[in-house]
């Protein structure tokens, strides 16, 4: 009921990240850890778009293939992809072969350059949407988390990105991105990673 589960190592984790393997590793070392690196931020918002209609585990298992296919998600390189690139990627069984999402990633890379040029970095743009603590629940319980598939900040981010020409960036996708990149810390109360994410945020340099 509280959303926590004990892993094989005896540690309490958010229920979705408690099983051994790739999901537990992602839960412990990545999800909720604050990220300022532009390449990682661009990669994640693109992969969140690819996840639409699928499970994150599906994307996570294919992530290395995605990285190879999209030049490590270097948006300067992806922005130069051509129609021939689209045809190549549609044939790549290692990724999700959805033409709309592939084209979206190329489009968003071009828009990312514009964003970087305007704000100095993607990081400075995205982190402006970090919510004020006063707008957040005092405790992140499973019940509270189930209510937060989208928030005021994720709706504002989505609205602004769409106005700038980005695609596959709806409010729910934007909030999942915020959760994973540490703009919010949605590890449940009692999860052993929660305080580590707090510490990481306190050390983050702007």
Catalytic residue among 31, 43, 48, 129: 48
Closest by Cα among 185, 141, 148, 137 to 32? 185
The answer to whether the CB of 59 falls within 8 A of the CB of 67 is no
Residue 202 annotated to the active site: no
Closest by Cα among 8, 28, 31 to 179? 31
The gap from C-alpha 37 to its chain's centroid, in whole angstroms, comes to: 12
Tokens standing for residue 132 = 């004020």
Catalytic residue among 15, 26, 30, 189: 26
Residue 184 CB contacts under 8 Å (≥ 6 apart), including other chains: 32, 130, 131, 136, 178
Catalytic residue among 15, 16, 30, 56: 56
Residue 76 annotated to the active site: no
Residue 144 annotated to the active site: no
**Catalytic residue positions, numbered:** 26, 48, 56
């Amino acid at each position: 009921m509280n959303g926590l589960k004990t892993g094989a190592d005896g540690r309490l984790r958010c229920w979705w990240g408690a099983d051994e393997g790739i999901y537990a590793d992602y839960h412990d070392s990545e999800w909720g850890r604050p990220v300022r690196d532009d390449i990682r931020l661009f990669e994640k918002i693109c992969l969140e778009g690819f996840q639409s209609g699928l499970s994150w585990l599906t994307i996570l298992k294919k992530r290395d293939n995605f990285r190879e296919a999209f030049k490590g998600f270097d948006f300067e390189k992806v922005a130069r992809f051509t129609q021939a690139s689209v045809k190549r990627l549609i044939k790549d069984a290692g990724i999700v072969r959805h033409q709309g999402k592939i084209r979206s990633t190329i489009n968003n890379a071009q828009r990312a350059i514009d964003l970087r040029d305007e704000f100095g970095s993607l990081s400075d743009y995205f982190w402006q949407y970090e919510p004020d603590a006063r707008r957040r629940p005092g405790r992140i319980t499973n019940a509270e988390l189930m209510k937060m598939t989208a928030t005021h900040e994720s709706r504002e981010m989505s609205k602004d990105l769409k106005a700038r020409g980005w695609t596959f960036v709806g409010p729910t996708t934007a909030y999942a991105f915020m959760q994973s990149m540490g703009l919010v810390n949605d590890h449940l109360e009692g999860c052993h990673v929660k305080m580590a994410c707090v510490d990481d945020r306190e050390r983050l340099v702007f």
